[in-house]
Structure 1
């Protein structure tokens, strides 16, 4: 295993992790911004009002994107496991 190979694998792992986590993080970010905007407009300064909608939105995003996310992770893991014999030669 060369240094370039290890860096390439680490890069691919980070790209997969970012691609898989992006939908849920974006949904949470959008809901958080909308709630903050609502709080600014209505001047409601309750700290706990942000948690429930963000948790619900996160769970809904996981339900919607969960199959795609697990498919990407399984494909990445399968590629690693299949190629192990080629890498240890």
Structure 2
């Protein structure tokens, strides 16, 4: 049983050594370009999300600004019947 475990572990370690990663097979310059492109895309995604969030906040502000008195009164949690 121990022999089989040792053999399996040896086979696994040999496979790991035999496998080449993308970084190993690519030219360092190409790898650097790919990493730069990845960072650029991540930055663009963050900017897009931030712009989307700002747009939603602006739309919410405009909706609040354009509400009628009746809508504001209905949304109020006060009991206005007390004040009649």
Shorter-chain TM-score category? 0.3 to 0.5
**TM-score normalised by L of structure 2:** 0.36
Higher relative contact order (CA 8 A, sep 6+): 1
**TM-score normalised by L of structure 1:** 0.35
Which structure shows the higher helix fraction?
1
